Amino acid sequence: MPRSLDDATLTGLVADSTAAPSMHNAQPWRFRYTRTGHTLTLLADLDRALPEADPATRALHMGCGAALFNLRVSAAHRGLDAVTALLPDPSAPAVLASVRLGARADTGPAPEDAALAALHPAIARRHTSRFPFDDQLVPEDVRTLLSEAARAEGADFSFLASPHLDTVLDLIREAEECDRDDPGRAEEQRHWTRNTKTEAPIDGIPDYALGPRDASEHATTRDFLGGATVPGRARVPFEKRPQLALLTTPDDHSVDWLRAGQALERVLLVATLNDLSTSFSTQPVEWPDLRWLLRDPVFGSGHAQMIVRLGYGPTGPRTPRRPTDQVLTIEP
């Protein structure tokens, strides 16, 4: 009979989980632990959905999938078995995953648990970096590790080469313009951007994490300020040929978005352990017409879930998270 977890272990698990990335740092998750069932349930917090940019809640599921992956890593690091089920209750779509946690048998960790536990140090080190990277190429062996990480979670992760890379860069710019011309989305972005001179945020994107603006018109990072000029925000040159990779899944339902989120976080943690900095460019994924065009014209049969920019450069700053006691409830 497994023993129920103590509060400190639960808090540690949830703190690791919530270090995950989420769109606009909305942190659209809640956790419920039932002592009798030894189960930690991950729920969508629909009050934190982004109805303008993410009406289908695809990005919400991806952020929660990333949080679930961190939870699995944290459990493996603590020597716990984590039996995970995605969407365990078909009548309750906001119940995204259940994770039954118990002490691991004395036989020691299975190879997959050891692989997950090895990623634990990267959870606290991983941050989105919206800064320029240098032109050093990501070596082939590291690219292979990243695509293996995605494949382990049921997704594909491929670096883009010309002419597909040029198409995707054009689509990012086109989407950025569409965002700017859409008052609802622009307002939603502003709503989740935080001025740390006037507030101490627990969510949203703090101004110090936005990075400089690109001096050219080739930026791949999202312009959260809608083109507004902010005193003191520098314009600097970014890399001329950003190294972008596309994360795709074979299908496109809520369970696939949860898998995509887990694959994304696995890729990001492996990247972090290999001293890579990362950021995201999801603007074209959020416009259905443009999303379709992101597919590789020759090989692409999957559904585009995320565009990741990788390279060697400054690590991003730590961004705020809601305290654990605001997201975790413990039931007898």
Residues near 140 by beta carbon (within 8 Å), at least 6 away in sequence: none
The identity of residue 266, as a single letter, is R
Q: Tell me the closest approach of the beta carbon of residue 198 to ligand FMN, in angstroms.
A: 19
C-alpha distances in Å from residue 67, one per residue of 19, 27, 39, 54, 283: 7, 9, 16, 18, 21
CB of 66 to ligand FMN, least distance (A): 6
Nearer to ligand FMN, 117 or 306 (CB): 306
Task: Choose between 43 and 268: whose C-beta lies nearer to ligand FMN.
Answer: 268
Going along 215-269, which residue ranges are E strands? 235-236, 243-249
Residue 296 backbone dihedrals phi, psi, to 5 degrees: -65, 125
- Give min distance, CB of 321 to ligand FMN, in A: 8
Following DSSP, what letter does each residue of 161-212 receive, concatenated?
Answer: -TTHHHHHHHHHHHHHHHHHT-HHHHHHHHHTEE-TTT---SSSEEGGGS-P
Output the residue with the shortest Cβ distance to ligand FMN.
21
- Provide the binding-site residues for ligand FMN, judged by CB under 6 A: 21-25, 59, 62-63, 66, 127-128, 130, 205, 221-222, 279-283, 316, 319
Q: Which is nearer to ligand FMN, 38 or 185 (CB)?
A: 185
Q: How far apart are CA 281 and CA 264, in angstroms?
A: 13
Q: Which is nearer to ligand FMN, 117 or 285 (CB)?
A: 285
Residues 6+ apart with CB under 8 A from 252: 303
With a CB cutoff of 8 Å and minimum separation 6, the contacts of 251 are: 303
Smallest separation, CB 2 to ligand FMN (Å): 32
How far apart are CB 124 and ligand FMN at their closest, in Å? 10
Q: Which is nearer to ligand FMN, 147 or 282 (CB)?
A: 282
43 vs 258, which CB is nearer to ligand FMN? 258
Minimum distance of ligand FMN from residue 68's CB (angstroms): 12
